[in-house]
Structure 1
Amino acid sequence: MFTPLNMNFEKNVVVRSHEQTPIASPAKDVMRIPLERAETESGHVTSIVEYKPGASFKPHRHPKGEEIFVLSGVFSDENGDYPAGTYIRNPPGSSHAPFSTEGCTIFVKLNQFDKNDDKKVVLNTSVEPWLPGQGNLEVMPLHHFAGKNTALVKWPQGERFVPHRHYGGEEILVLSGTFRDEWGVYPTGTWLRNGHLSTHHPWVEEETVILVKTGHLAHDVS
């Protein structure tokens, strides 16, 4: 019997992906590390997915959208090739047949879009500009809709942020370096989900880049 994984959005969650054992997907040579999952093969899900060289998925539809960040290698579908660092949003009702010729690893969020969030987005973050953020942070906005924001944030060595509260929650994937707060130490590959109105006081000791989503948990509390 299937048990939902990390679907209580009031609870803070930390998953160190490199400590997890990947599990098989329905597609041959595609493995995944589930981070949160409502059902076995449908509904709300967040995962880190590895395509072995030559692996592919059958054509399929995303009823409530799909959000992807390519972590390594080259991810592809019939619309193009997406190298490491590419951010993709496929809107509700979209479909594709993904594959990877050389192999890749991607961070994927499925079936979590607002029904009116219907814009397709493809950004190669290796060529997008960094903008000044608070303190000495640099920010690369990726998407904004109805109070929900997705961005890359670059922390310079030794940067310490002010204590703050997350209205609508915060979700982080550490892309490089090591992220820290008073609750723990989070190396590259760590996924954190801090719930609505959670607080922390983060800092880094080395340059660190994180993928951040905010504002999306206030109305998703189960």
Structure 2
Amino acid sequence: MLVNADFSQSVVVTPDRYQWSASPQSGVERVMLDRIGAEQARATSIVRYAPDSFFPAHAHPDGEEILVLSGTFSDESGDFPAGWYLRSPSGSMHQPFSRPGALIFVKLRQMAPHDEQRVRIDTRDPANWVQEGQGAVCRLFSNAHEQVCLQRLAPGQALADPGAGGAELLVLEGELVAGGQRYPRGTWIRLPAGAQPGLVAGDSGANLYLKTGHLAGMAQLT
């Protein structure tokens, strides 16, 4: 299965274009944002857990990255309410579930082979944020392959161009604007290397998940 698998092209998925599909487990649905492969795939998704739903125990070759968007996501390591960032390296295993229900942003099989760092960060803790110019940044992870953070942009503040490694972002609050188009909360955008999107925060500013550097050479995978 290929979903938005041409990494040389910009992709925008706004909430009104979400296409929910059932997962193999009852009570768990997903929006496939990009995907290369069948059920065991390199994938980026938004996943929705109904109350008291779960997934059987499973391993994660090439790792798993999660940002909890709403509700509470849980596994053997704890309960993680909205705002938690979870990063589990290749070979890790868990049995995820949600008692109240949850909405999460998930990236599967996208970590470098040498990436063995396990990360758990509460992005709603003010101590994890630092001011940068007009806005603020919560740094989540960085290595030679990728940089991951949350950003708060002030009204009218421009998003930096992604550079040689491309960028991927999810609007968490507020909106981004470019060329007369508005991208509200829940919009996912993938920008190839060298793109110059001209994105700026709307009148109320914007909070967003941002990953950069990881798309270098990805066009070869289509």
Per the normalisation by structure 1, the TM-score is: 0.94
Per-residue CA deviations over 1:33-62 (Å, capped at 9, x if unaligned) read: 000011121121000000000000000000
- In structure 1, what is the equivalent of residue 100 of structure 2? 102
One-letter identity of the residue aligned with 2:185 = T
Per-residue CA deviations over 1:201-220 (Å, capped at 9, x if unaligned) read: 22122121000000000122
Paired residues for 1:1-222 under 5 Å = 3-127=1-125, 128-133=127-132, 135-160=133-158, 164-182=161-179, 184-204=181-201, 205-222=203-220
* Gap runs ≥5 in structure 2: none
Distance 1:20 1:119 in 2: 32
Distance 2:128 2:76 in 1: 27
One-letter identity of the residue aligned with 1:34 = M
Q: How far off its partner does 1:183 sit?
A: 7.1
Distance 2:106 2:87 in 1: 10
Identity of aligned residues (%): 39
Q: What secondary structure sits across from 1:201 in the alignment? A: coil
Distance 2:128 2:158 in 1: 23
Q: What secondary structure sits across from 1:221 in the alignment? A: helix
Q: What secondary structure sits across from 2:97 in the alignment? A: coil
* Segment of structure 1 superposing worse, 46-55 or 137-146: 137-146
One-letter identity of the residue aligned with 1:97 = Q
> Residue 159 and residue 118 in structure 1: after superposition, are their counterparts in 2 closer, same or farther (change >3 A)?
same
Query: Contact 1:18–1:189 (CA<8 Å) still a contact in 2?
Result: no
> Residue 182 and residue 71 in structure 1: after superposition, are their counterparts in 2 closer, same or farther (change >3 A)?
same
Q: How far off its partner does 1:200 sit?
A: 2.3
Per-residue CA deviations over 1:106-127 (Å, capped at 9, x if unaligned) read: 0000000001010100001111
Distance 2:9 2:79 in 1: 37
Q: How far off its partner does 1:182 sit?
A: 2.9
One-letter identity of the residue aligned with 1:82 = F
> Residue 183 and residue 61 in structure 1: after superposition, are their counterparts in 2 closer, same or farther (change >3 A)?
farther
Structure ranking higher in helix proportion: 2
Per-residue CA deviations over 1:5-57 (Å, capped at 9, x if unaligned) read: 11111110001134323100011100000000111211210000000000000
Per-residue CA deviations over 1:173-202 (Å, capped at 9, x if unaligned) read: 000111112373210000000001111222
> Residue 183 and residue 195 in structure 1: after superposition, are their counterparts in 2 closer, same or farther (change >3 A)?
farther
Q: How far off its partner does 1:147 sit?
A: 4.2
Per the normalisation by structure 2, the TM-score is: 0.94
Distance 2:96 2:6 in 1: 30
Count of residue correspondences = 218
One-letter identity of the residue aligned with 1:141 = R
Per-residue CA deviations over 1:103-155 (Å, capped at 9, x if unaligned) read: 0000000000001010100001111432122x302111100011410000001
> Residue 8 and residue 183 in structure 1: after superposition, are their counterparts in 2 closer, same or farther (change >3 A)?
farther
* Gap runs ≥5 in structure 1: none
